[in-house]
Amino acid sequence: MSIRVIERIRAMQAWADEVRREGKRIGLVPTMGCLHEGHLSLIRLARERTDGVVVSIFVNPTQFGPGEDFEKYPRTFERDQELVEQAGGEVIFTPNVEEMYPPGFCTAVQVDKLTEGLCGASRPGHFRGVTTVVAKLLCAVKPHVAVFGQKDFQQAVVIRRMVRDLNLNVEIVIAPIVREADGLAISSRNAYLSPSERRVARVLFQSLEKARERVRAGEREASGIISAMKAEIEAKPMARIDYIEMVDAETIEPATRVEGRVLVALAVWIGKTRLIDNVVLEKK
Ligand code: AMP
């Protein structure tokens, strides 16, 4: 059975209505394509919880800032199609930019507070683009469950908030980070790294592991944990820190100590490529 590719919102909604009429549950995995094992794990998780999985592939221009990599973002549709099929997805929803943002489009969904720190601070307007496109994808695909990766932890928290605040009738599931053998979180942007940059990039995970070890050993102060991480990353000439922070995992507000569930999140430039990663730590 070959996979169905849908490009129009109306056709997507008609498919969803039909599936819902049959009493079946729909899963959605939103992506920007260039699929990898991280995305595939989300598709498998969605399959376990629903009867038919839609993978959206849309490189959303409104979540990229000026000078970011929208133009050069890797587009590998044919390969993506094979991977979705292998992972058991049923539909690829791949609207073009005009379909999503026709002339006259002037609406946005904005989640406040949770979007102020971390990636929200370094990428102004990014989350407004994300929440607006995800709201539109939810209206097009009408899923019962939508799966997002912990890799983009802040994004997942922001989308959960949006869903609650707007009473959207969908369950948001957050899936664990899938990593390469050396710990680097898999990302479409890893393709930008040269071989030497790729070797350096493992320092992101190594520094997060260091944070985890320190907490396991009893350290609680954010300042000590963060400065050890900074020292490790700054020792690599190709790496430049955008941010490293400890925040409350629910509110995304700065945390000075490991108490309850905290998130240690970082964004680091390796050459011209900005990579993110995180770990959730809990004081038991
Ligand atoms: P993207 O195509 O980068 O926008 O990512 C689409 C979805 O896949 C988002 O929910 C990401 O958090 C998730 N994702 C990306 N990389 C990974 C990974 N290494 N492990 C788990 N989920 C991921």
* pLDDT one-digit tens code per residue, 72-90: 999 999 999 999 999 999 9
pLDDT of residue 82: 98
Ligand 1, atom 17, lies closest to the CA of 38
CB atoms within 10 A of CB 9: 18
CB atoms within 10 A of CB 157: 23
Residue 202 alpha carbon to ligand 1 centre in Å:
18
39, 145, 208: which to mutate for ligand 1, most atoms within 8 A of CB?
39
Residue 22 alpha carbon to ligand 1 centre in Å:
30
pLDDT of residue 283: 81
> Could you read off the pLDDT of 110-122 as tens digits, one per residue?
999 999 999 999 9
Helices (H) and strands (E) in the chain, counts: 10, 9
pLDDT of residue 203: 98
Give residues (CB < 6 A) around ligand 1.
Answer: 31-32, 38-39, 41-42, 148-149, 151-152, 175, 177-178, 185-188
Closest ligand 1 atom, residue 186 Cα: 19
Q: What is the pTM of this model?
A: 0.98
pLDDT of residue 1: 56
**Residues of the chain with pLDDT > 90: what percent?**
99
pLDDT of residue 153: 98
**Average pLDDT over every residue of 88-106:** 98
Whether residue 189 is predicted with pLDDT greater than 70 in this model: the reply is: yes
**Average pLDDT over every residue of 246-271:** 97
39 is catalytic: yes
Exposure letters 167-199 (e unless 16+ CB within 10 A, then b): ebebbbbbbebbbbeebbbbbbebebbeeebbe
pLDDT of residue 2: 80
Whether residue 257 is predicted with pLDDT greater than 90 in this model: the reply is: yes
28, 29, 31: which to mutate for ligand 1, most atoms within 8 A of CB?
31
Rg (CA), the chain: 19
End-to-end distance of the chain based on CA atoms, in angstroms? 48
Catalytic residue among 36, 39, 126, 144: 39
Spatial CA neighbour of 53 closest among 64, 40, 62, 65: 40
Ligand 1, atom 7, lies closest to the CA of 31
Query: Taking the alpha carbons of 44, 190, 73, 157 in that order, is the dihedral positive or negative?
Result: positive
pLDDT of residue 275: 98
Residue 60 alpha carbon to ligand 1 centre in Å:
14
Domains in the chain, start-ordered, CATH in brackets?
Answer: 4-175 (3.40.50.620), 188-283 (3.30.1300.10)
Closest ligand 1 atom, residue 188 Cα: 3
Q: How far is CA 23 from CA 11, 50, 56, 157, 171, in A?
A: 19, 11, 22, 29, 17
Closest ligand 1 atom, residue 177 Cα: 20
Ligand 1, atom 6, lies closest to the CA of 31
Whether residue 192 is predicted with pLDDT greater than 70 in this model: the reply is: yes
DSSP codes, 152-208: GHHHHHHHHHHHHHTT---EEEEEPPPB-TTSPBP-GGGGG--HHHHHHTTHHHHHH
Closest ligand 1 atom, residue 151 Cα: 12
